[in-house]
Amino acid sequence: MNLAGTKILITGGSNGIGRALSKKLIQKGGAIYSIDMAPPTEHLEGFTPLQADIRNEKEVIAALKSIRCDIDLLVNNAGVMRRGTIFESSEEDFDILFGTHMKGAWLTLKHAKKLLKPTATIVNMSSRHGMSLPADPGLYALVKSTMANFSTIIKRTCPTYTVKTLFPGPTDTAVSRYGLKGTALEKKEKLMQPPEQLADRIMELLENDAKTELVFDEEKWDYYMQ
């Protein structure tokens, strides 16, 4: 995919992985529209923030109305973390995880579809937990596994789209740090990679025309394409 001159819609672009990826895309000549509840912490030329809660259909529709161009690339990146097993998790945990990751991605795609070019690329953010399905974080792993299946459904529904799925490992963001403290956080800090490093690998994935996916290898603690 040639990213020069592309118009990109990303969710959760104000910080973390979304922010790092937005900067890389702008460096390649892309223009970003970001839907996020949080405003960006710094001004970035070529970055247009659209404040909305992607769990709320009316807010998503209102945010998208301000986009006056066709979209080449949609990145469903917004995410939150809740830890614990499926029996330790609360109804609120379930609602925020599935609301943000799954409902938010579905609403964004559903209402952005009229803006997407017929040959648009869609990237869905899953997780290594979506592949390994640990007991803890159970609901988080479940929703990330669902995100991967969401990609399959999109491919079968809209075969002209290129759909890619990301399965990243520990990345130094507020989401990764959520709910950790003491020795657990110290252990995680030794494993986490900076979001800029993941963004570089995502750029590789986007610029590769093959229908590949970015996967985190827990044995090698590195990313690879499949």
- pLDDT tens, position by position, 52-105: 999 999 999 999 999 999 999 999 999 999 999 999 999 999 999 999 999 999
Q: Rounded to an integer, what distance in angstroms lies between the CA atom of residue 15 and that of residue 17?
A: 7
pLDDT at residue 127 greater than cutoff 70: yes
Domains in the chain: boundaries: 7-225
Q: Rounded to an integer, what distance in angstroms lies between the CA atom of residue 18 and that of residue 40?
A: 11
Q: Yes or no: say if 139 and 85 are a contact pair by the CB < 8 Å rule.
A: no
pLDDT at residue 136 greater than cutoff 90: yes
% the chain with pLDDT above 70: 97
CATH code for the structural domain at 7-225: 3.40.50.720
Tokens 């690339």, residue located: 73
Q: Yes or no: say if 166 and 202 are a contact pair by the CB < 8 Å rule.
A: yes
- pLDDT tens, position by position, 174-222: 999 999 999 999 999 999 999 999 999 999 989 987 677 778 777 766 7
Residue 157 vs residues 20, 35, 107, 142, 148: alpha-carbon distances, Å: 30, 24, 15, 22, 15
